[in-house]
Structure 1
């Protein structure tokens, strides 16, 4: 990630941040700027190719409806898969897009998705949907909706990791469910703002005592034994591990994320 300004030479520990700190960090994060910039370009193309409002509304609605399913599928069967770390070609990407987040859930630097994975995924999912219902303008509208929905999801995800209690009952519940995913059992509660697909996929647990404590909650299956067999993620992490406890900005953490903590 290109880092500058508020993000240059700094780490951001959500356990030590308040909402005002998060808003500032979020508003200055380069990936957020990329999403908003691409959304603005897409909306410009929408009005250039405009043919009617109904296809645009349908494209937007379908994108918002499909998004939770796509997130669930990717989160459960890709990000928590056991195949990405087994190849040197995908180990670095898997480390960046999810392993680091479970190793250190409060590290804002690795909480956001990596642009080289998120933007192609948004495009692959949204462009065909939009094109089928509205041609070029529908495709551009669906892509913009996907980008803005991603911003919303990313912000909600950040809020769930803040060391503060949400004000509404709804947000408190979302935070609780997501924290159990990170600190109790990672094989369930894959949603962020919507747990419908967890319910349908039999991965929803409304109470922590309904499922056993997972021994791999912080390494998501990349155990010390797996690291011996498939060493690439371990090598990229300077052989630091947080299997029994998240790394929490340790001094010997991955050099990629070193810097004074907030």
Structure 2
């Protein structure tokens, strides 16, 4: 995949278009209800700086927490926003977050801080900054999952660490564009530091045994897949030949 093809695929996705539209609307609100330039800048800065920590906490304790699949009320959401992504990490249609979960989350981690700093204008500026930061994160996420090899050293390192999270050990490297909080909380790793591959890297702990007690994700998924995503096509073909 070329960079141009990646960019085209990125901007065609409805979630990115929605983020940009909401960001434009929030910017309009910030203009109509202005705060001081300093307060507006502070609101934006807080949203951008706080974002990596918010993502780390959500990724580690919500998306990788083993509590959402235990209730029929949250199992469907967990399946859509992260289980399916780890089951098939390079599937474009589930690469981006679902708007019904991402938009409220972005608002929650940006608007209160912005409002405290600059009122309505500050809240709108912070929300716009959070949305645009999400766009940056999602673009980096595309680079990490699609068949594009970045030439930039920093992007290549980001991709390597994120691929290790998806294909080697899911209990570390929770960052996307920043691994500062992984380092701070001891979850940053290079693959040689963890020679043994995690047995739950693709199912996040939702094993066939666990599904016997908490069956909702399995029912929605047609069972529990246990093989490597890249080998499933080969396995299916072999099964058809055997039949």
- Report the TM range for the smaller structure's normalisation: over 0.9
How far did residue 39 of structure 1 move?
A: 0.6
RMSD over aligned Cα, in angstroms?
Answer: 1.8
Residue 70 of structure 2 corresponds to residue 76 of structure 1? no
Which of 146, 157, 175 aligns to 1:191? It is: 175
What secondary structure does 1:118 align onto?
helix
**Of residues 120, 128, 147 in structure 1, which corresponds to 2:104?**
120
Q: Give how far 1:248 is off.
A: 7.3
Superposed CA offset, 1:164-221 (max 9, x none):
321111111111000000010000000000001001111010x202123100000011
How far apart are 1:250 and its partner, in Å? 4.9
- The one-character-per-residue Cα deviations of 1:47-79 (angstroms, maximum 9, x if unpaired) are 101132101100111111000000000000000
Residue 171 of structure 1 aligns with which residue? 155
- Give the deviation of 1:35 after TM superposition: 0.7
Instruction: Sort the Cα spacing of 1:248 and 1:128 in 2 relative to 1 into closer, same or farther, 3 A.
Output: farther
Question: Displacement, 1:244?
Answer: 3.2
Displacement after TM superposition at 1:247 (Å): 6.0
1:23-49 per-residue CA deviation (whole Å, 9 max, x = no partner) reads 122111111111111111110011101
Which of 71, 77, 82 aligns to 1:98? It is 82
Question: Which stretches in structure 2 are left out of the alignment for 5+ residues?
Answer: 237-243
Which of structure 1's runs of 4+ aligned residues deviate more than 6 A? Answer: none
Whether the aligned pair in 1 keeps the contact of 2:6 and 2:148 (CA below 8 Å) is no
Q: More relative contact order in 1 or in 2 (CA 8 Å, sep 6+)?
A: 1
Structure-1 residue corresponding to 2:223: 239
Q: Could you tell me which residue of structure 2 aligns to residue 210 of structure 1? A: 193
Q: How many pairs does the alignment contain?
A: 235
Alignment of 1:32-43 (within 5 A): 32-43=16-27
1:156 aligns to 2:140 (yes or no): yes
C-alpha contact (below 8 Å) 1:35/1:147 kept by paired residues: yes
How far apart, in 2, do the equivalents of 1:164 and 1:153 lie? 16
Taking structure 1 as the reference length, the TM-score comes to 0.86
Deviates further, 18-27 or 173-182: 18-27
TM-score by length of 2: 0.92
- CA shift, 1:228, in A, is 1.5
- Structure 1 unaligned blocks of 5 or more: 1-16, 254-262
Is the 2:30–2:122 Cα contact (8 Å) retained in structure 1? Answer: yes
